Structure 1
Amino acid sequence: MKKVIDREICEIVGEILGSYDKGKTIDHTEVFAQPDPDAVIDILKKLFKIVFPGFFRDKTFRFYNISSRLTVLIEDVMYNLNRQVAIALRQNEKYSDESEEEVNLAAEEICVTFFKKIPMIREYIETDVKAFFDGDPAAYNENEIILSYPGLYAIVTNRLAHELHLLEVPLIPRMMTEHAHSKTGIDIHPGATIGKYFFIDHGTGIVVGETTIIGDNVKVYQGVTIGALSTRGGQRLKGVKRHPTIEDNVTIYSGASILGGETVIGRGSVIGSNAFITTSIDPETRVTIKNQELVLKSGKKDVVKNDIDIMEVGNYHI
């Protein structure tokens, strides 16, 4: 059996190598021309240590003071982020023909600008932690939220990735948010703009599209989609606002779908579970689904229960 495998492997290698010469998108063989996913995830983990200095331990080094620890962390992340950004920038048309020196300089400027934004990012994250604690009576304390809530993990990752996205860094922001997606089931595009005090309750199945704009004090439950209408236009829609605007103080309950770039959910509105919305909603409106009949089979006849009616409260029902 071993001799058969030995003989066949050479032929298999030749066939697969031959398939690399067809000019397909997946035929690229320059592996070092792409950012390293493991390096990006490691950078993200260390950024969490910078954002939350007293919550995630460093198992490699021991320090006497926080200044020394922070200096080592920032130098580590700065060095590795700079390397990955320089690789990624080659995929931005603006840098495709630039010299290595010019690309490296651009990467350094991006990394410095990004790190200068971290105090601002932390201010936003502090409001998110407060929103989680104030909005979830099951939360024991803020430490529990920071260390264990998937919704906060997804939001923090998005806030970090969003700043890199604004700095026009290709690939890396999406790699970060897709890592969070894989861990939490929460899919927030790094292009989405999210205000302060953002609260994701439970979280699994939430989708927030690239051009979404979310105001302050917004609360979103599991299974919510803030997405685009049909994307049959494909790449022709690049740069077009395809996703909704959610104004301040809006609550969106589980399973609701809000779609379309022209759709605006007015401030103070409440969107009920399973609502399907493709048009704008006025401020201070409650949108709910008319309750379906519940049929209970009991003995010889069916019993219809429809005395609990949760239909419209406010100006709309769906």
Structure 2
Amino acid sequence: MIADFRVIFERDPAARNWLEVLFCYPGLQAIMLHRVAHSLYKQGMPFLPRLISHLARFFTGIEIHPGAQIGTGVFIDHGMGVVIGETAEVGDYSLIYQGVTLGGTGKESGKRHPTLGKNVVVGAGAKVLGNLNIGNSVRIGAGSVVLRDVPSDCTVVGIPGRIIYQSGVKVNPLEHGNLPDSEAKVIRLLLDRIEALEKQVEALQEDKLKQRELVVSGISKLTASSDHDESHSCYIKDKEIEEFLGGTM
């Protein structure tokens, strides 16, 4: 509990004094109550752990099942709407923002909730669903939906979650909203590709038009070099067609 208390001053610049943190931080209150409920849950007590969890949810807006395993120094920032399932495991010094769900995907029994490694950051509104393994030092972007395992030292964004950074990229755990938009990047690449294809089509159309002009020019020269009788004959035929159409040609 001391580590849970100290980590707030390390990660929240708004934390000013211990009294304010103790009485005004629902994330800390929810974790402290969960520690008690989890201890009773492991002893096999049937009702009291769930009651404590329910009361914690009522007062803090954070629902943590008594069976969930929460590591040392876990910080739930703001925390309203956070849901952590029965078989979920959260590693040491992880950071969870409001609206996060560590949930299951069905009514299966056994391990059905995700396992988070150490120093994981889960952005606001993110959903991690199913029996997944999330490695150490993983960042999950705000609003992402993670449905697959994620190796350590990666950054995941999108619906469904996609890995955009691999190992070796240094990131600030507090900047969970400062992530690239992978979908916008793909759309921009597609637009660039369409523009390039349009230019190719325009170039082909211009070449075709030039070829047509050359053909027309060649036909005109051949017509000009023909004798006068053929030209006159063609003219007579045109007159006959015009008369046949009643002078409307």
Cα displacement (A) at 1:309 = 7.8
1:1-318 alignment to 2 at 5 Å? 125-231=1-107, 233=108, 237=109, 240-261=110-131, 263-289=132-158, 310-312=180-182
DSSP-derived class of the 1:258 partner: strand
Q: In the TM superposition, what is the alpha-carbon distance from 1:214 to its structure 2 partner? A: 1.0
Post-superposition CA distance 1:29-80 (Å, at most 9, x none): xxxxxxxxxxxxxxxxxxxxxxxxxxxxxxxxxxxxxxxxxxxxxxxxxxxx
SS of corresponding position for 1:132 = helix
Number of aligned residue pairs: give it.
164
What secondary structure does 2:128 align onto? strand
Q: Secondary structure at the match of 1:226?
A: strand
Matched residue SS, 1:174: helix
Q: Quick one: distance in 2 between partners of 1:133 and 1:142?
A: 9
Q: Which runs of 5+ in 2 are unaligned?
A: 160-177, 183-249
Deviation digits for residues 261-291 of structure 1 (CA, Å, limit 9, x no counterpart): 2x0111001000011011100100011239x
SS in 1 for 2:76: strand
Q: Which AA in structure 2 matches 1:281? A: V
Q: In structure 2, what is the Cα distance between the partners aligned to 1:143 and 1:135? A: 17
Q: TM-score, normalised by structure 1?
A: 0.50
Find the aligned partners of 2:100 and 2:180 in 1 and give their Cα distance.
19
- Alpha-carbon displacement from aligned partner over 1:75-96 (angstroms, at most 9, x marks no partner): xxxxxxxxxxxxxxxxxxxxxx
- 8 Å CA contact 1:289–1:310 kept in 2: the answer is no
* Higher Cα radius of gyration: 2
- Please say if residues 206 and 224 of structure 1, whose CA atoms lie closer than 8 Å, have aligned partners that are also in contact: yes
Paired residue type of 2:68? A
Cα–Cα, structure 1 residues 280 and 133, in superposed 2: closer, same or farther, change >3 Å?
same
2: CA distance between counterparts of 1:144 and 1:246? 29
CA positional deviation for 1:144: 1.1
- Shift in CA distance, 309/175, structure 1 to aligned 2, threshold 3 Å: closer
Distance 1:131 1:265 in 2: 21
1:142, CA displacement in angstroms? 2.2
Q: Which runs of 4+ in 1 moved over 2 A?
A: none
In 2, Cα distance between the equivalents of 1:142 and 1:218? 21
Are the counterparts in 1 of residues 145 and 158 from structure 2 also a CA contact under 8 Å?
Answer: no
**Residue 311 of structure 1: how far off its partner (Å):** 2.6
The code of the aligned residue for 1:267 comes to N
- SS of residue matched to 1:284: coil
Aligned equivalents of 1:160, 1:133: Cα separation in 2? 23
Query: What 5-or-longer segments of structure 1 have no aligned partner?
Result: 1-124, 291-307, 313-318
Are the aligned partners of 2:138 and 2:154 in contact in 1 as well (CA < 8 Å)?
yes
The answer to whether the Cα contact below 8 Å between 2:37 and 2:49 also exists between their aligned partners in 1 is yes
Q: What do residues 82-137 of structure 1 show as CA deviations (whole Å, max 9, x unaligned)?
A: xxxxxxxxxxxxxxxxxxxxxxxxxxxxxxxxxxxxxxxxxxx1100111111100
Secondary structure at 1:281 match in 2: coil
TM-score (norm 2): 0.64
Identical aligned residues as a percent: 40
Amino acid at match of 1:243: H
Q: Which amino acid aligns with 2:60?
A: T
Query: How far is 1:148 from its partner?
Result: 1.4
Q: What letter is aligned with 1:201?
A: D
Q: CA RMSD in A?
A: 1.5
